[in-house]
Amino acid sequence: MSTLMRATTLGAAALLLTGCGFRGAYSFSLPGGADTGEDPVTVQIEFLDALDLVPQSGVRVADVPVGRVEDIELDEDDWTALVTVSVNRDTELPANAVAAIQQSSLLGEKYVELAPPGNEEPRGTLQDDDRITLDRTNRNVEVEELLGALSLVLSGGGLSQLQTINRELGDALEGREDAIKDTLRQLDTFVGGLDDQRAEINRALDNADALAETLAGRTGTIQTALDTIGPGLDVINEQRELLVSMLESLARLGDVGTRIINASAVNTVEDLRLLQPILTQLTAAGPDLADSYELLLTYPFPDSAVFGTGEAGADVPLNYRAAQEGGTALFTNMTANVNLDLSGVLCRFVVDPSTGALEVLPEENVPTDCGGGGQPVPSTPAPQTAQQPADPLAPVQDAVGQVVDQVPAAGPPAGSRAGLPAIPGVTAP
């Protein structure tokens, strides 16, 4: 009895020492496990389904044991499995490491596999109390799940219908081999065309995404437009009968217009044919018409004369140059002499005293003062005696003398034309 009592006492003492942390066989360390060292790193891992993973299961990195599973519990917040593992501190793992539940063989034990991330750059170092979240964990397919899916297919899952499907498919394709081949060939061409247009398709999708983003940014404007268009649609709905009547009138107008065009088509074509020579001549005269515009608004001066440039570089209305008679005048490539001496004009005309008609003297009777070959006209008429016969040209000479007497007898001043007063700045040639 003493031996039994001692054993009972030792068991009770061990139970008291362990307290509430005693978990049965899971509290004993089994031989052959990974060496976690004296100060391991404790990490929590979230799994959607822990399967039949149990405490004391191994933790591996690159299939090398580095730790063990310490605890498995249910997270009541999101109903996921929360697995606590201890890993040797010498194990180098990034802070964004990933975890997965693996199986050593088809029917072997399960363990937790830790590894650096494969789709992003590793960063940081895995520390105590770090948590690998659900988006960085995964698990393999269980053998039980695979066998269950296979059993579903084999027992009433449609496998018995494969023969029927194969037979019906053969009946459908029989005699249509060429059509099927042509369809497959066209499908291959279509797929190849899509493959060649990858860049354009991607660009179209990017543009559609940009358009959707722009529309999303203008949701308020679109909403305002939709709210505002409602009253406009109500007005259109109220005026529907008027719109229908307008469209019917337009249809009748179109019918009338078509009938008129069909009736006058021959005449229109003939008018256009007759108009062709006129348009051809207008086209040929096009450069001349364009050049005539230069003289149209400045006639009789060309625009080059009207919009010339003076000696000082300023714009002036006309070109200046020295006149032939002296001084300065406005010219446009032409010179004109105007004779204002009326004595040289009136000397050639006489008045017939009998008829009162104006007659032109013959060249031989025109006085030399007028440029003729006759006698010069005296300044005063010579006295006649009773013995002298009457001169038939006396009345004419008197008239000429009266006209010539109106011209200054002393002659024109120096530097001016005959019969005109001197003009300052103008000299005679």
The tens digit of pLDDT for each residue in 350-363 reads: 777 777 677 777 77
End-to-end CA distance of the chain: 172
Residue 81 DSSP label: E
The tens digit of pLDDT for each residue in 379-410 reads: 545 444 444 444 544 544 454 444 444 444 44
Q: Tell me if 101 sits within 8 A of 47, measured CB to CB.
A: yes
Q: What is the pLDDT of residue 375?
A: 61
The Cα 257–Cα 371 span in angstroms is 81
3-state secondary structure at position 76: coil
- Taking 50 as the pLDDT cut, the residues of the chain under it are 1, 15-20, 310, 312-317, 380, 382-390, 392-393, 395-397, 399-429
The Cα 106–Cα 108 span in angstroms is 6
**Is the sign of the CA dihedral 30, 32, 33, 36 positive or negative?**
positive
Placement of tokens 């009253």 in the chain:
231
Q: What is the pLDDT of residue 251?
A: 93
Task: Report H helices in 155-301.
Answer: 162-173, 177-196, 198-217, 219-238, 240-263, 265-284, 286-296
pTM for the whole thing? 0.34
DSSP assignment string, 260-278? HHHHTHHHHHHHHHHHHHH
Q: Are strands 64-75 and 80-87 parallel, antiparallel or unpaired?
A: antiparallel
Q: Which helix (H) or strand (E) holds 153?
A: helix 143-154
Q: What is the pLDDT of residue 369?
A: 65
Q: What is the pLDDT of residue 6?
A: 58
The Cα 144–Cα 329 span in angstroms is 121
Give Cβ neighbours of residue 243 (< 8 Å, ≥ 6 apart): 236
State how far the alpha carbon of 81 is from the alpha carbons of 77, 78, 174, in Å: 11, 9, 56
The Cα 87–Cα 67 span in angstroms is 4
The Cα 311–Cα 270 span in angstroms is 59
The residues spanned by each domain of the chain are 25-145, 175-208, 343-378+392-405
Within 10 angstroms of residue 36's Cβ, the number of other Cβ atoms is 22
Tokens of 403: 């006209």
Q: What is the pLDDT of residue 392?
A: 47
Q: What is the pLDDT of residue 396?
A: 45
Q: Are strands 41-47 and 130-132 parallel, antiparallel or unpaired?
A: parallel
The tens digit of pLDDT for each residue in 270-287 reads: 988 999 999 898 888 888
Amino acid at 429: P
Tokens of 339: 């004779």
State how far the alpha carbon of 31 is from the alpha carbons of 56, 68, 94, in Å: 11, 12, 29
